[in-house]
Amino acid sequence: MLAKVLSFALSGLTGFPVLVEVDVYKGLPAYETVGLPDAAVKESKERVRSAINNSGFEYPVRRITVNLAPADLRKEGPLYDLPIAVGLLCASGQAEKDYLKKLVMFGELSLNGDVRPVSGVLPMVIDAYEKGYRYVVLPAENAREASYVAGMKIIPVKNLSEVAAILNKKIQPQVFENQNVSPAPGQQKYDVDFADIKGQAHAKRAMEIAAAGGHNVLLVGSPGTGKSMLARAIPGILPDMNFAEALEVTKIHSVAGELKNSQDGIIYRRPFRSPHHSSTSVALMGGGSRIMPGEISLAHNGVLFLDELPEFSRDAREALRQPMEDGVVSISRANAKVTYPSNFMLVASMNPCPCGYFGSPDRKCKCSPTQISNYINKISGPFLDRMDMNVEMSNIKYDEMTSRAAGERSADVKKRVNAARAVQRERYAELPIHCNAQLNAATLKKYVKVGKEAQEFLKNVFEKLKLSPRSYVRILMVSRTIADLAGSGDVLLEHIAEAVQYRTLDRKYWGVSYE
Amino acid sequence: MCPMNDIDAAERYWVWLSSIDGVFAKWFYILQSFYIEPQKVWEHAGDILSDIPRFPPQVAGAVLKARNDGYMNILFDSIEKKGLNVTTAVSADYPYSLHDLPDPPPVLYYKGILPDIWERSVSIVGTRRPTRNGEKFAREIASEIAAQDVLVVSGMARGIDTAAHEGALDAKGATIAVLGCSAETVYPKENRALYDRIKENGAVLSEFRPDTPPIAENFPQRNRIIAAISGATIVSEGGVKSGARITADLALSLGRQVFAIPCDPKSEVSALPISLLKSGASLLSETADLMEAMDWKPHIRKNKKENKKNLSLDFFQERIYNSLLKGDLTPEQLSDRLKVPIGSVGSALTIMEMMDVVERMPGNLYSIK
């Protein structure tokens, strides 16, 4: 007898329907799975057998063929355990098939018949809804995550017997209702508040500008000046995500399996990802045999923090350039090509020199000028080009750090950031961009109006400080953001003068060589 | 100035003999005391060298080996190719003050132009790792004395040397760098730009033949030139056992005036100036100390720094200026003290930097220029 159960699979962030066909027929007892299953799908045979036996059903001692259609796409992961088990029960006459046409089903089984959570539920449920399905049977732990798809009836299940009982109409399916469908955005808690950071007003101001204009930042400073803490505080001053953005973030985290057992449901918190500097380019970009999102996609709509930037492998650093430009990352492997979104704000930090104390007033730096310039020049010019701001941390003494009064709270800074973002959205309404960091040479000319006096000043700055040509565009972009924060329509001399402050690596004492 | 082809035939043998490994200046003058000119050595090397008592046989061997036209041509070709000028102890443009040395360098290679007068000159020496204040003061002093047409001599090393050269050049003065490697070698590498500036406004000179790398034993040898070539020596910061100490001791033994700059007694790098001051060196805290002690008439030249004070600073910039007068500060500290938003402080600092009033230093510190 044949039974067909509907399930879903993922390619990147898009789901596609998979029909699980189970045929039980006469012959020597055997079990075969076809339809490009990976190892985890093949292994489901053992889990399914034990789960059926331990749930009080009878495992059919006959010839069994399981087909996953369409047969030309690779199926990965343990989420077909439940559909296969249900198919077996239906095909062997232990459960009724009436509901099967309407239901989408997935879930991993444990040997005693319990249903376990799987990853990638949210994007699959979204696409199931778009394809016209209205009922989904899934592990109880995944119910919250799926419940944000309005209109979808979620039927959470705890074990195989429960599914069988529903199919046999012995119990009424309980549709999951999320009590808390719209978590209030803006109520998110972040690790570090701006008020927690003592001193470093210069760098904090730079962070505010970076957040307001979506600029990438490189922090340069001695150990212990608070670079990491500052980076951790940034998500807290970025504008709140809207529903679409939050949904996208949640999808990515769902695919990466980071939502299992989570109570969060949809993610409204801006992600903060801080991969270790030993991370490979695959860890950052995404990949693996099942192509999973990497750190840059997990940081989508949030902050990617690269601590100790020069310690990252050259490969890893250079691989970042393309996704930074495009906002998406495409990963090609022999069997598939997947695209994940990767629109993140890059915050990187580095020491000023190999020993870390160049410029420190109370510790002596042991490095020669050549060592310093070699260290800084590890970061390639094109990479530096993508960092709009490079900010030098001030060295502060310990007593100064503790004696200072608390600074502004993140919430207050965020208000100004939100206002500046609103100005930018309005200005770029007819363009496909939404913040100053996305300007290019052509749009810059059109939207960044610089007065004559300011233009003259900028020219002098270039000659005197011997700035590299590439910093020209960056300074104008950042000046535009400073002007937006100040509520000024035109970019004035004072805005340009402040923007020059955030180009420390152009200073000659670093010995940065520009070609 | 003396282009290569201007030196006479006899001097070519000076260059030849001095270029041979193991022939130190000392041997040159021992030969001279026997009235043996380098040309004679070329002509009759075998007989002459065996007659000189204790002349090392392996050096004599090297001299004999180098006694051929091939060697001579390669040597002069490389001098020409590297664009080096040459002067010898018997040339007219040779820095005559060097004759006070027991072993003046027989040959000097240089790039740039040698001055005619060497009395009105000062060597400034000190550590390669100075404190911020020490470096700043050395730069200021070099600037001020160069503005009074005093020639500044130093060794183009990192730290005090670099500050001295740059200070002199900034005041549009002349400066001489005496190197511990050959004159066409830039060491340390990061001083490439400085090297070019010195070449244009003075000279880079060395007694070492072309292609000599900067090896450690060359530096003390070089220091004797720095001590002897100028009329006085100023010692900035340095340790008790340092190259600067060697220079200072040599200058004293040559009867040159030695000045020491007083500095923080607790600092490691103050050891040398303090010990010099204790043993009777003159104290130098302003340019006048030097000018009076040396009895040099001040030449008043237009100094662009003079008009700095008349710059039109606005009220806020004036307040920043006054705060910085008391010491270097970060923008945070300025913002705290003046109760002004950090953004405005940054903006004002850039503008003041453009006016040449302040300068930014590593560690995000600002200081009055």
The answer to whether A501 contacts B158, with C-beta atoms less than 8 Å apart, is no
Distance from CA of B251 to the nearest CA of A (A): 29
- Look at residue A222 and give its three-state secondary structure: coil
* Residue A239 preceded by cis peptide, ω within 30: no
What proportion of chain B, given as a percentage, has pLDDT over 70? 95
Instruction: Tell which wins on pLDDT, A381 or A52.
Output: A52
Residues of chain A contacting residue B335, judged by C-beta atoms under 8 Å apart: 201-202
Residue B102: DSSP 8-state: S
β-bridge pairing B107-112 and B121-125 = unpaired
pLDDT above 80 for A139: yes
Mutate: best of A207, A219, A400, A494, partner B, most B CBs <10 A:
A494
Facing B332 at nearest CB: one of A199, A482, A493: A199
Distance from CA of A412 to the nearest CA of B (A): 15
Let me know: does B363 contact A372? Beta carbons within 8 Å. no
pLDDT above 70 for B1: no
The answer to whether A202 contacts B362, with C-beta atoms less than 8 Å apart, is no
Let me know: does B178 contact B89? Beta carbons within 8 Å. no
Q: Which CATH architecture has domain B121-179+214-294?
A: 3-Layer(aba) Sandwich (3.40)
Facing A460 at nearest CB: one of B336, B344, B354: B354
Q: Which residues of chain A from 318 to 377 reach within 8 Å of chain B, CB to CB?
A: 352, 358-361, 364, 368-370, 373
Q: State the average pLDDT for chain B.
A: 87
* pLDDT band for position B311 (cuts 50, 70, 90): low
Q: Does A200 touch chain B (CB under 8 A)?
A: yes
Residues of chain B contacting residue A373, judged by C-beta atoms under 8 Å apart: 190
pLDDT tens figures, A280-327? 999 999 988 778 899 999 999 999 999 999 999 999 998 998 898 888
Q: Which phi and psi angles does B348 have, rounded to 5°?
A: -65, -40
Let me know: does A367 contact A354? Beta carbons within 8 Å. yes
The answer to whether A394 contacts B342, with C-beta atoms less than 8 Å apart, is no
Mean pLDDT of B42-54: 81
Q: Supply the pLDDT for residue B139.
A: 93
pLDDT above 60 for A461: yes
Mean pLDDT of B14-29: 85
B132: nearest CA in chain A? A361
Q: Supply the pLDDT for residue B4.
A: 47
pLDDT tens figures, A382-435? 888 788 998 998 876 655 655 556 678 888 999 999 999 999 999 998 888 888
DSSP tally for chain B: helices H, then strands E = 15, 11
Residues of chain B contacting residue A199, judged by C-beta atoms under 8 Å apart: 332
Closest CA to A254 of A161, A162, A146: A146
* pLDDT band for position A514 (cuts 50, 70, 90): very low
* pLDDT band for position A77 (cuts 50, 70, 90): confident
Interface of B with A (CB under 8 A): 129, 158, 188-190, 330-332, 335-336, 341-344, 346-351, 353-354, 360-365
Q: Supply the pLDDT for residue A33.
A: 93
β-bridge pairing A63-69 and A14-25 = antiparallel
Residues of chain B contacting residue A462, judged by C-beta atoms under 8 Å apart: none
Which range is least confidently modeled, A181-190, A409-418, A448-457, B107-116?
A181-190
What proportion of chain A, given as a percentage, has pLDDT over 70? 93
Facing A358 at nearest CB: one of B341, B344, B362: B362
What proportion of chain A, given as a percentage, has pLDDT over 90? 47
Residue B179: DSSP 8-state: -
Facing A369 at nearest CB: one of B158, B335, B349: B158
Facing A352 at nearest CB: one of B158, B332, B362: B362
Mean pLDDT of B49-69: 84
A222: nearest CA in chain B? B363
* Residue A70 preceded by cis peptide, ω within 30: yes
Judge residue A169's burial from the number of C-beta atoms within 10 Å of its C-beta, 0-12 exposed, 13-18 middle, 19 or more buried: exposed
Q: Supply the pLDDT for residue B163.
A: 94
* pLDDT band for position A515 (cuts 50, 70, 90): very low
Instruction: Give A309's contacts (C-beta < 8 A, 6+ positions apart).
Output: A218, A277, A317, A348, A349, A350, A379
The answer to whether B332 contacts A200, with C-beta atoms less than 8 Å apart, is yes
* pLDDT band for position A512 (cuts 50, 70, 90): low
Same fold for the pair B121-179+214-294 and B311-368: no
Q: Supply the pLDDT for residue A261.
A: 60
The answer to whether A498 contacts B335, with C-beta atoms less than 8 Å apart, is no
Distance from CA of A452 to the nearest CA of B (A): 16
Residues of chain B contacting residue A225, judged by C-beta atoms under 8 Å apart: none
Tell me the HSE value of B134 on the side-chain side, using a 13 A CA sphere: 30
Q: Supply the pLDDT for residue A400.
A: 61
pTM of the model: 0.74
Kindly list the domain boundaries of chain B, sorted by start residue.
Answer: 4-82, 121-179+214-294, 311-368
pLDDT tens figures, A158-173? 999 999 999 999 999 8
Let me know: does A233 contact A194? Beta carbons within 8 Å. yes
Mean pLDDT of A348-354: 91
Q: Supply the pLDDT for residue A181.
A: 52
Mutate: best of A194, A197, A198, A202, partner B, most B CBs <10 A:
A202
Q: Supply the pLDDT for residue B11.
A: 85
Tokens of A249: 């973030």
* pLDDT band for position B307 (cuts 50, 70, 90): very low
B345: nearest CA in chain A? A498
The answer to whether B364 contacts A373, with C-beta atoms less than 8 Å apart, is no
- CATH for the B311-368 domain, from 3.30.300.30, 3.30.1490.100, 1.10.10.10, 1.10.3720.10: 1.10.10.10
* pLDDT band for position B3 (cuts 50, 70, 90): very low
Instruction: Give A114's contacts (C-beta < 8 A, 6+ positions apart).
Output: A158, A159, A160
Distance from CA of B364 to the nearest CA of A (A): 5
Q: Supply the pLDDT for residue A200.
A: 85
Q: Supply the pLDDT for residue A185.
A: 57
pLDDT above 60 for A59: yes
Domains identified in chain A and CATH numbers:
2-167 (3.30.230.10), 194-510 (3.40.50.300)
The answer to whether B350 contacts A369, with C-beta atoms less than 8 Å apart, is no
pLDDT tens figures, A229-268? 899 999 999 988 888 888 889 899 988 888 766 666 778 8
Mutate: best of B131, B161, B162, B332, partner A, most A CBs <10 A:
B332
Mean pLDDT of B143-156: 92
Facing B346 at nearest CB: one of A202, A369, A493: A202
Q: State the average pLDDT for chain A.
A: 87
